[in-house]
Structure 1
Amino acid sequence: MKKISKIILIISIFLAAAGSYASGEDLELKAESAILIDGSTGQVLYSKDEDKSMYPASTTKIMTLILALEHSDLNEKVTVDSKTPFEVEGSHIALEPGEVLTMEQLLNALMLESANDAALVIAKHISGSVEEFGALMTSKAKEIGASNTVFVNPNGLPDANHVTTAHDLALIAKYGMENSQFRQFVSRTNSVIPPTNAKEEQRYLNNSNKLLYSGRMIDVNGKQVPIMYEGVTGIKTGYTDDAQHCLVASASRNGTEYISVVLKTDKQNLYVDTHKLLDYGFENFQEQKIASKGEIAENLSWNNRLLKGSVVEDVYCKLPANATARIEKNISLSPKLSTPIRPGDTIGEVVYSYDGKLLASSKIVSNESLEADKPASERSMFFVLLGTGALVTLILIRIIYVYRKRKKRRKSKASAKK
């Protein structure tokens, strides 16, 4: 295969907008690690040590919910094993050995009461063991793009090897929010488990995420506001002594949804930090079009040949509403590019970034045809034939020249004898 050359063109574009992304100090968050992303595109709008390895506590259960929805049916019956009720630590719903519940009931217990016993039962039901389920969780995280995450249990109880990052949790939450059933579980405020074969009384489940319902007032930047956040859509709280207070949250207004992650903060500032992050998104960003479908990308050099391509779709991203945002456009040709190339064939990708952060990307397609080069043997034969033809022509010209010259001499001699 021919050696492929890769090019990167960096072009600066200026759009009308004011300020820039907030730095780690601008929002004055108490959390040790935090992030705000666009819930639709994953674009990072704010970050504070977002790639630092952290303990996730019960925000781990976001992944447990994702896998349960993908590997089971909500109505299927699940039997509690004989060991889980006696192994569980922390929050639980007092499951009994041999108790039968539906997967939906267990998931409500998982996400509302943050029940660690429900998490263990779900893990064993799906994978056979906690260890196997942990491996499944980690594999799914990698698939989503959460490459700095390792899960070893389904509930987030302390383990030195059970770690993630704010950015990874945001990506996992974004993935989950693409599932309508997931959205229902993370936004539900309460539920009831009716009597079972092992329990005569009902169990009432209440969500610990106060963003969904609490009218208690908190101070956010000098203003008293209720904890309940306008447009809140979920997702999950968490706490252990090592992880401290954690919260993955989401909110949507006017068709725009943001996802925030706050890790290792105190109880008082858990919701304050989350308000600050979500407010920052809704108050400072607006969607802007940074490229149009069919926009031309010219003079793309490949194998000493020029290609002409174009953007395959309209490209939008969130940018500060009142700032001049500098966008870098990086175009790279596909490493598998080969001829022949036809109009519409994908030849590369354009990636847009701002202030070192990825904004969006789009495929680049060819606007023209480019035929395959002839094999070297064919090219060599062509030049051989061309050279041979030129030599034969020169010889013929020489023969004709000599013949005419001799003929002319004979005529001259004949005239002289007369």
Structure 2
Amino acid sequence: MLSILILTVSMVLMSIPTAFAANSSWVVIDADNGRILDGANPHDRLPIASLTKIWTALTFLESGTAQEQTIISSRAASAEGSSIYLEPGSKISTDELLHGLMMRSGNDAAMALAEHAGGSEEGFVQLMNEQADLYGLKDTHFTNPSGLHDEQHLSSAYDTAMMLYYGMKNKEFKKIASTEQYSRKGKQAGVWENKHRLITSDTDAVAGKTGFTKAAGRTLATYFEKNGKKVIVVTLNNGNDWNVHKSLSSKVFNEYSIVTIAKKGDYAVLPGITAHLKKPIKVLLNQEEKSRVSSVMRIPRSEAQSSFGEWIVSLDQEQVVTSEVELKRE
């Protein structure tokens, strides 16, 4: 049983006129909480090409597999499509493979990582799909770790944005996905530059991934950050993706502001009960949304002197942010 105290703090979608091809989609989400800020057909299931590698990298990093040297198989070295030119029998660190996967989109790196963590490509793909289910990616199904076209290998702009959202919460993934240049050592020594050219040329672009197949067209995912505002943009099948991403992110940064819903500190919520909020609750809102925010504090029935509740912030009754509060009873 819960006692619920409603605190009226009082959060629509912006419309960005952007021309897109048929069988395409796009989305902009708040990178702090995953809220959709705008989009067209964001849940349509489409091929995403090498944006798949976002999930390949995160699945590998979360698999518990030790990051170490691995021997490249003939199958990995001969993987179809884009390559970092791995040689069969060579010994490569998984760190180098992860950078080659995300920065240079190596399909051979994807296969090598899959075999290392999953025992086989098929075993690793099963892990990828289990991870997708665990994270609630309802529009997503993988058949390979690289994004090569398959009729069943599909996702959506929204799910792909959430892949990057979850990835950026992983410290190692964030480091790799935002690397501009990487120095290879050993026999194939050299310097890789990230294929995602906004990362190396646009100061607001922090991380992301490129993709292309004939079936998918150009696909792109970008994490932008400016003045504390963070957004993720994903476009599927858009030939002008570099400019579209810059335009969509700039529009959000211009039209949205960070609004403090609640400051950190103590709140008297019921006679004899004080709620302590450790960190301020902040939400990215445009001018229209500011009057549409509401807050609910959920307080569990308890005789304990100290317990925990939730401060829930919603836009039009859809939850946006949930923060823990410590409840103290006199």
C-alpha distance after superposition, 1:250-306 (max 9, x if no partner): 12223332222112212xx2112211221122111111122344445559xxxxxxx
Partner in structure 1 of residue 285 of structure 2: 319
Q: Deviations over 1:351-410 (max 9, x none)?
A: 3222465321234665548xxxxxxxxxxxxxxxxxxxxxxxxxxxxxxxxxxxxxxxxx
Mapping of residues 325-340 of structure 1, within 5 Å: 325-330=291-296, 340=302
Distance 1:324 1:185, change over 3 A: closer
2:144 counterpart of 1:158: no
- TM superposition shift of 1:85: 3.0
Q: TM-score, normalised by structure 2?
A: 0.84
Cα distance in 1 between the residues matched to 2:319 and 2:268: 21
Gaps in structure 2 of 5+ consecutive residues = none
Judged with a 3 Å threshold, the aligned counterparts in structure 2 of structure 1 residues 325 and 92 are, in CA distance, closer, same or farther, namely: same
Matches within 5 A, 1:251-330: 251-266=224-239, 269-292=240-263, 293-297=265-269, 310=275, 312-313=277-278, 314-321=280-287, 324-330=290-296
1:161 CA displacement: 2.5
The 2-side partners of 1:154 and 1:272 are apart by 28
The yes-or-no answer on 1:345 pairing with 2:296 is: no
Task: Kindly name which structure, 1 or 2, has the bigger radius of gyration based on alpha carbons.
Answer: 1
Letter in 2 for 1:315: I
Displacement, 1:324?
4.5
Alignment of 1:93-242 (within 5 A): 93-196=84-187, 202=189, 205-213=192-200, 228-242=201-215
The letter for the 2-side match of 1:120 is M
One-letter amino acid of the structure 1 residue matched with residue 135 of structure 2:
I
Instruction: Tell me which stretches of 4 or more aligned residues in structure 1 moved more than 6 Å.
Output: 6-11
Q: Which residue does 1:399 correspond to in 2?
A: none
Secondary structure of residue in 1 paired with 2:259: strand
Instruction: Check the 8 A contact 1:21/1:320 in 2, yes or no.
Output: no
Q: Does 1:63 align with 2:60?
A: no
1:6-17 to 2 correspondence within 5 Å? 13-14=9-10
Verify the 8 A CA contact 1:145 1:171 in the aligned structure 2.
no
- The structural deviation recorded for 1:236 is 0.4
Verify the 8 A CA contact 2:229 2:284 in the aligned structure 1: no
Q: Which residue of 1 aligns with 2:17?
A: 27
The DSSP-based 3-state class of the residue aligned with 1:158 is coil
Distance in 1 (alpha carbons) for counterparts of 2:215 and 2:8: 44
Q: Secondary structure in 1 aligned to 2:258? A: strand
Mean CA deviation greater in 118-127 or 280-289: 280-289
Aligned partners of 2:154 and 2:291: how far apart in 1? Answer: 35
Q: 2:321 aligns with which of 351, 360, 363?
A: 360
CA distance in 1, matches of 2:294, 2:159: 24
Mapped to 2, the partners of 1:37 and 1:207 lie a distance apart of: 23
Report the more deviating stretch, 29-38 or 99-108.
Answer: 29-38
TM-score, normalised relative to structure 1: 0.68
Write the distance in 2 (CA, Å) between the matches of 1:83 and 1:48. Answer: 39
Maintained 8 Å contact 1:43/1:317: no
Q: Flag the 1:48–1:7 CA change in 2: closer, same or farther, 3 A.
A: farther
Check whether the contact 1:309–1:364 (CA below 8 A) recurs between aligned residues: no
* CA shift for structure 1 position 117: 1.1
Whichever residue aligns with residue 345 of structure 1, its letter is S
Change (3 A) 1:311 1:327: farther
Give the % identical residues: 27
- Cα distance change, pair 182–10 in 1 and its aligned pair in 2 (3 A): same
SS of 1:169's partner is helix
- Structure 1 pair 186/364, CA: closer, same or farther in 2 (3 Å)? closer
Task: Find the aligned partners of 1:185 and 1:243 in 2 and give their Cα distance.
Answer: 25
1:39 aligns with 2:31: yes
Contact 2:10–2:294 (Cα < 8 Å) also in 1: no
- Aligned CA distance change for structure 1 residues 33 and 355 (closer, same or farther; 3 Å): farther
